[in-house]
Structure 1
């Protein structure tokens, strides 16, 4: 599902360069990524989603060469094949929760919004316990409710790859377990791969494999740079 080799990426203003010699993740695997803040874990997820483009190296995701795509092609690929759970949720303020869940169908070329998709969105919302919040806009939702909306949005397209950046970080322990169950169950149904950045080491036994990002990347990033 993921094959990254000799990736190098630096932010335009300098001060931080991410280098990943090799990263491979098999289809259907559930992989957790741990490591200190500032080592580039979120940057790696952005590269894998095509939100950022490596300066050099090779990157294949779901058999697609992300580096060889145009911006429009990467955007369409991301909408079809990748579910991204952002650490800051990245909800659209002027849309209500239900519309935010369905947002990939607004922007994804080739994605068709129909009654089956709407039913799937409602089923996901019910599983996340936010059915009664679907008419609310993000500003009227708690942090945990916004996070659950973001998780539903990542799953609604039935993606091949789920990238999660602290997907359960704002949830209480009971809700956290329920959401993780939902995430893993849906991924299993779709034979989707999960790559999740987390600082919660209590969750690690639930994953097939744990990658310590500090040992994966090189060299170390300066303190205070992006997580």
Structure 2
């Protein structure tokens, strides 16, 4: 597991390294951790190393000759680098635009190690060979990568797969959709919707319930019914943004 930290305060760099090291030891995962105080040093490093698994990035880098974390993340994406990014911040409101750079999420200082572990566990899962689904529509057979599926909806017995590239229409039910996709990476939130767990951005935990999910460079809001909110929160309780 190759982790990079970019944090301009020595105390927080050391705290993050210690927390990540404890996680790796607990999971019996071999860890390589590089750390930087400057966004410019980070960008140079990422240009030279294409096999980084995750970047933990301080959103409020304060050096006068430096750019802040959000601008750094946008630059990383413009480079074509899709490395998972986790923002680190003292103010969660500053991380609200993380969806613009498809950030995995944020950690608030002081670091909650349980939340950090959830993010790192997710990175490990994403390293596994990606599954490709065969979806048979009326006139086409489609091979769709798991990571491209954002959500699936049913409307009058018409199933619509909303992917990052296109929408695929076919006849069917959400029960058959869940049989195909499985429960490990997808969850039903409503009689009309199944969503990818990895696309969850925020869950509204007061009635009427809803969930925001990443949809490319935008956020899509979907309703969550009473029958499914408990299961959704059990799955995602430690990643809810309030």
RCO higher in structure (CA 8 A, sep ≥6): 1
Report the TM-score, using the length of structure 1 for normalisation: 0.31
Structure showing greater radius of gyration is: 2
Greater share of residues in strand: 2
Report the TM-score, using the length of structure 2 for normalisation: 0.29
